[in-house]
Amino acid sequence: MRALDKLWHALDERFELEPIVEFVTHKVVPRHRHSWAYYFGGLTLFFFLVQVATGILLLLYYRPTAEAAFESVQFIVTRVPFGWLVRSVHSWSANLMILSAFAHMFSVYFMGSYAKPRELTWWTGFALLGLAMGFGFSGYLLPWNTLSYFATRVGTDMVSKVPFAGAWLLKFLRGGNEVTGATLTRFFGFHVAVLPMLTTLLLGVHLALIQRQGMHVPVSLEEEAKKRKPIRFVPNFMLREGVVWLLGLAALAALAAFFPWELGTKADPFASAPAGIKPEWYFLFVFETLKLLPAHLFGIEGELLGLGAFAAGGLVWFLVPVLDRGRPGGGRGRTFFVLGWLVLAYIVGFTFASFAGVFK
């Protein structure tokens, strides 16, 4: 122990660590009837860490070329010891991460935690969700199977609708006019280098802001939070979060063992598109909406109009900390509260309806 104490003193003397320890030991998390919502952010972080770990393991064997990508994933799931588990956990964790991120975003939204002074936390969180979806979109193509190939073709095709820059963006994403090996290499680069770098950066800012500003308590729960003893962050909240992470781990293990992620058949660019191409579930509400739109609406191409509407909706969602001026007596505005429920109902409704085959 004396050696450890000496080491601590040496480090503290040089880096002034005492204030950090002071901060961490005194940090608390408010306790009220909606405290459960505070765990989603941590759970999303857990899944992200699982992604990093399993992603690095997959990198040891994955080969990002049109000729070898499918075969390398096939090799991973059939020949590499526990390769099937790593690949399956990576795929399931990606989906659970997005699900958890959505839960985190909506819980933050409904508690009005985006309001001043936490605007930047909301904006970095919004960007992180976008990056997570970017991870999903780019990673979907990497096994180079038939479904992912054609889904990427449809997905990237939508980019071409962007006015003025559409053609350029399409070429930039695909590395040419068609989805080819060049697209695969490009998506691999985005997936393992560009997106992780941006995510790490934004995640750092996001977490730092949360630590700096503390957990937000909605006006309606302030009284309750004052009456109840807060939870100490270290070690109580961390241990509680640990239980949630273990639950996440158990879910991942069960899903990977009982529902190993399918590999499908190798992509054949010359084959005709198979029936029932669908993107990942978190893009379904956009995909199905665009499919429902007529070819032309008000003299504008329906798909372009739809994408414009989604872009405008996304912008409103992004700017909600500025647009929502709150109620005179404190608390968030009713309009945005109702809007949040409508958006949630729309996303959940369209996603489930798509799975149920309503749009066939």
Binding site for another protein (CB under 8 A): 74, 77-78, 85, 231, 235-236, 239-240, 242-243, 246-247, 249-250, 253-254, 257-260, 262-263
End-to-end CA distance of the chain: 68
Q: How far is the CB of 82 from another protein (least distance, A)?
A: 9
Q: How far is the CB of 224 from another protein (least distance, A)?
A: 17
Q: Which is nearer to another protein, 24 or 348 (CB)?
A: 24
Q: Which is nearer to another protein, 13 or 262 (CB)?
A: 262
Q: Which is nearer to another protein, 86 or 170 (CB)?
A: 86
Q: Is the four-CA dihedral 350, 107, 105, 161 of positive or negative sign?
A: positive
Q: Which is nearer to another protein, 76 or 203 (CB)?
A: 76
- Cα separations (Å) of 297 from 70, 165, 292, 309, 315? 41, 22, 12, 12, 22
Q: Which is nearer to another protein, 145 or 199 (CB)?
A: 145
Q: How far is the CB of 74 from another protein (least distance, A)?
A: 7
Q: What is the DSSP string of 154-186?
A: HHHHHHTTSTTTHHHHHHHHHTSSS-SHHHHHH
Q: Which is nearer to another protein, 78 or 213 (CB)?
A: 78
Q: How far is the CB of 266 from another protein (least distance, A)?
A: 10
Q: What phi, psi does 81 have (nearest 5°)?
A: -55, 125
Task: Collapse the DSSP code of 356 into the 3-class scheme (helix H, G, I; strand E, B; otherwise coil) and give the result.
Answer: coil
Q: How far is the CB of 260 from another protein (least distance, A)?
A: 4
Q: How far is the CB of 90 from another protein (least distance, A)?
A: 15
Instruction: From 140, 133, 135, select the one nearest 69 (Cα to Cα).
Output: 140
**Residues with Cβ within 8 Å of residue 303, at least 6 apart in sequence:** 158, 161, 290, 293
SS3 content of the chain, % helix, strand, coil (to 5): 70, 5, 25
Q: How far is the CB of 241 from another protein (least distance, A)?
A: 10
Q: What phi, psi does 20 have (nearest 5°)?
A: -65, -45
Q: Which is nearer to another protein, 262 or 268 (CB)?
A: 262
Spatial distance between the Cα atoms of 81 and 161, rounded to a whole number of angstroms = 44
Helix or strand run (H / E) with residue 231: strand 231-232
